Structure 1
Amino acid sequence: MNSRMDLDDYQLIIRALSDRIVEAQTPIRVLDAVKWDDGVRKGFFKAKGKELPAIDRAYYESRPLTFDSAAKKQEFQNIERDITRQLGQFNPVGQIMRRMCKEYRMVIRMLEARGTADFGLISQDLYGAASDAFHAGDPTLADLGLMLSDYLNNIADRGDLKDEPKTLSAKEAVELLQGRLNKVFGEKDSTIRVIESDGIVADAAAGADYIKIRTDAMFNERDVRALEVHEGLVHVGTTLNGLNQPVCTFLSKGPPSSTVTQEGLAILMEVIAFASYPTRLRKLTNRTRAIHMAEEGANFLDIFEFFRSEGYAEDECYGNASRVFRGSTPDGLPFTKDLSYLKGFILIYNYIQLAVRKGKLEQIPLLFCGKTTLEDMRTLRQLVDEGLVVPPKYLPPQFSDLNALSAWMCFSNFLNHLSLDRIEADYANIL
């Protein structure tokens, strides 16, 4: 953590309040609190996949939270009160910190509601719903999922787009990824560790200074490239940039609203670094479609069958379906965190496009100065000017030199005004 030396009285007040938020959120681990243990999976397959997993309110009550939820909500309430008392109602950094406190209280309420209908409703408040529109009259996330699925189906049978075989073990992927990250973050300075883990649901997960790779997962070189970009350059990079903040230390930790920005940046980076591929994109679109199905009343068995119809192995079907209902019940409203990927991608892409259109390129790298949220970007620019936030130390090359990105977005702004339906009709005799 950064030293408090050389901070003035105003900065010290902000730093102290910020540190209190960081400390208060430490025991809140959303994914740990909502995940199902392996016994549930074994029970599901023992019943030949014909019965809903044995998950109800009592299941979660038998796995209590690792903190006193009432006391923790009160702690955030007290911090919020002190922010107003010490910084005033309209102080910009105070407004960001107060919103974080409110959001963490909502997260705790969601975790208290595990196994009830309220869990899914609060999840929609925090992460959004598949039926949310981006703007009035625009397609929804569910529409986007279906649209992308149609495009992917059009290229699905091409032999030249088939995935390379997954021949890399977790151990080999760890070594390869560690070497690549050492080049990015500097072998001497970097404390980034890539480690094997058997306690995660996804193939990989990023922490403050580590990336976990699931022990029983297999990978190919394209997977490792995507992990380097997604988990390394974005998730670990923004964490390190947040930890590098001398005053606004809260930027090292992200509430749910920053998850949308984080995952959106990560998917955008995969795309512009040419690290994404159709199978990866289909995984994201299927998660969005599955959440929408659950919002419309589909249960665990329906979602399991949906993934089976998409060609996934049974274990993968179970893993994907359990992501949708973790924290909830197998016939309840879904946990909507996985909407963050596509939702965040669209919102971040639009933000960068508009920043280029309006000539505000200096705003774009600030997305990486910590666990940021889009609604705070104008304030962050102001805080950088005031010396309360330092610009990001670690930036992907695509964002440290904005030449190519700006050129792309200039063309993109123009292309958005063309009618693809009209073009399709005109190009019918040449395509």
Structure 2
Amino acid sequence: MSRRKQQYEYQQIIRSLSDRLVEAQMPIRVLDAVKWDDEVRQRFFAADCRQLPPVDRGYYESRPLSFDPVAKKQEFQSIERDITRQLGQFSPVGQIMRRMCKEYRMVIRMLEARGTPDFGLISEELYGAASDAFHAGDPTLADFGLMLSDYLNQIADRGDLKDEPKTLNASAAVQKLQERLNRVFGEHESTVRVFESDGIVADAAAGADYIKIRSDALFNERDVRALEVHEGLVHVATTLNGQNQPICTFLAKGPPSSTVTQEGLAILMEVIAFASYPSRLRKLTNRTRAIHMAEQGANFLDIFEFFRDQGLSDEDSYTNVSRVFRGSCPDGMPFTKDLSYLRGFILIYNYIQLAVRKGKLEQIPLLFCGKTTLEDMRTLRQLVDQGLVVPPKYLPEQFRDLNALSAWMCFSNFLNHLSMERIEADYANIL
């Protein structure tokens, strides 16, 4: 058999296993499985916001999963066995796919445990906990959230940093966002659609090739810019790049480990594209603080008051607290997915900083080649060299031309060695 034919058959084996993995995960919709219906909200407000929402194990049992969890776990187990049989124990691409199989089985176990303490424990395994440290002796994610809150408090009363009025309704926001994305993805390709939706909790949500805007939400120009960067340039772009993979099709879909990378990359993009702003950052820090409170034993009512104290309306407070306890009970352990934003930002920032320091700039754009996970980045570089993974088609300008990003990281690498305490003391008389 010729070498070219052997290579072709090897690629077809990978493609077949990858396609099976993509198909197997299709019915698993974590957020749909853990969300609370509107009746829970109505009953909470009917009780004048003084009683815990009526959510327990029985509530989730009345809302069965859209798939057979036992059969689905067996399916992933079978795929994992076939990956080893057909690719071998030490195949780099096989190692990625086997890890994904294990992770999806863990996701299923978490969903089976809705309304029990095990749900929160598995959530911590998948998404981390607010009390996790990045390295021994370093601040935790909860410490990072508190530190950012302190910084934001210092500038909270500045009139020139107040948010612009939200004068754009959903229809106007859809039009403006569609125009922006057409310039990025191509107006005539109809690659990405933006439309209104009644069925989402957040102001916006990204799908494979679309972005949904909540029909009753209001926006300003800054919000639209943030949605372009966060949802469009990262979430949609990485999905399309994953779908563009001819062999490793699994890159079009991502387990929770890729969620951390995705959200971290999205927040970093907001920062370097100057699309972020204090009130948006406050939203992320408050979510982190709320999860930490729940980890420490606070219940739904305690955290509802926390958000009220932050100046949120009762409706917005309820929405934010329900994010913390969805999948769990109102006095149980939290669903920690929302830690992905700040946790992912730190991990991605450190990765890019280290890549610049070591002169491995070619690895940075590969973050966009699909739903990637940081621990797979070295392997992805190998797969690109082998022709098994293609570089990303859709890449933000900041990552297409790495000149400015590299210069920033070079300065950052030096500035990280300076003592902020000494700087503060030295500048005390001039600031």
TM-score normalised per structure 1: 0.98
- 2:73 matched to which residue of 1? 73
Once the two structures are TM-superposed, the CA of residue 190 in structure 1 deviates from its matched residue by 3.4
Cα-to-partner distance string for 1:151-209 (whole Å, 9 max, x where unaligned)? 00000000000000000001110111011000000011232111111111111110001
Once the two structures are TM-superposed, the CA of residue 211 in structure 1 deviates from its matched residue by 0.4
Once the two structures are TM-superposed, the CA of residue 6 in structure 1 deviates from its matched residue by 12
- 1:138 matched to which residue of 2? 138
CA distance in 2, matches of 1:173, 1:131: 37
CA distance in 2, matches of 1:37, 1:309: 25
- 1:39 matched to which residue of 2? 39
Give the letter for the 2:313 counterpart: A
- 1:324 matched to which residue of 2? 324
What is the correspondence of 1:353-364 to structure 2 with a 5 Å cutoff?
353-364=353-364
Give the letter for the 2:362 counterpart: E
Cα-to-partner distance string for 1:125-153 (whole Å, 9 max, x where unaligned)? 00000000011111000000000000000
What is the correspondence of 1:3-22 to structure 2 with a 5 Å cutoff?
8-22=8-22
CA distance in 1, matches of 2:6, 2:286: 51
CA distance in 1, matches of 2:377, 2:106: 22
CA distance in 2, matches of 1:298, 1:247: 47
Once the two structures are TM-superposed, the CA of residue 260 in structure 1 deviates from its matched residue by 0.3
Cα-to-partner distance string for 1:84-138 (whole Å, 9 max, x where unaligned)? 0000111000000000000000000000000000000000000000000011111
CA distance in 2, matches of 1:191, 1:230: 17
What is the correspondence of 1:197-346 to structure 2 with a 5 Å cutoff?
197-346=197-346
State the identity %: 84
- 1:405 matched to which residue of 2? 405
1:158 aligns with 2:162: no
Cα-to-partner distance string for 1:11-66 (whole Å, 9 max, x where unaligned)? 00000000000000000000000000000000000000000000000000000000
CA distance in 1, matches of 2:330, 2:185: 42
Q: Say which SS state the counterpart of residue 71 (structure 2) adopts.
A: helix
CA distance in 1, matches of 2:31, 2:268: 23
Which structure 1 residue ranges, 4+ long, deviate > 2 Å from structure 2?
none
- 1:192 matched to which residue of 2? 192
CA distance in 2, matches of 1:203, 1:322: 15
Q: Say which SS state the counterpart of residue 428 (structure 1) adopts.
A: coil
Q: Say which SS state the counterpart of residue 362 (structure 1) adopts.
A: helix
Q: How many residues get paired?
A: 427
Once the two structures are TM-superposed, the CA of residue 414 in structure 1 deviates from its matched residue by 0.2
Give the letter for the 1:157 counterpart: D
CA distance in 1, matches of 2:37, 2:122: 23
Once the two structures are TM-superposed, the CA of residue 7 in structure 1 deviates from its matched residue by 7.3
CA distance in 1, matches of 2:190, 2:305: 44
Q: Show structure 2 runs of 5+ residues with no match.
A: none
Q: CA-atom RMSD, angstroms?
A: 1.0
Q: Say which SS state the counterpart of residue 8 (structure 1) adopts.
A: helix
Once the two structures are TM-superposed, the CA of residue 352 in structure 1 deviates from its matched residue by 0.2
Q: Show structure 1 runs of 5+ residues with no match.
A: none
Give the letter for the 2:108 counterpart: I
1:183 aligns with 2:187: no
CA distance in 2, matches of 1:212, 1:42: 24
1:390 aligns with 2:358: no
Give the letter for the 1:301 counterpart: L
Q: Say which SS state the counterpart of residue 153 (structure 2) adopts.
A: helix
CA distance in 2, matches of 1:216, 1:60: 28
CA distance in 1, matches of 2:178, 2:29: 26
Cα-to-partner distance string for 1:291-313 (whole Å, 9 max, x where unaligned)? 00000000000010000000001
TM-score normalised per structure 2: 0.98
What is the correspondence of 1:102-121 to structure 2 with a 5 Å cutoff?
102-121=102-121
CA distance in 1, matches of 2:356, 2:374: 16
CA distance in 1, matches of 2:343, 2:18: 28
CA distance in 2, matches of 1:190, 1:405: 30
CA distance in 1, matches of 2:243, 2:104: 19
Q: Say which SS state the counterpart of residue 275 (structure 2) adopts.
A: coil
- 2:96 matched to which residue of 1? 96
What is the correspondence of 1:121-136 to structure 2 with a 5 Å cutoff?
121-136=121-136
Once the two structures are TM-superposed, the CA of residue 384 in structure 1 deviates from its matched residue by 0.2
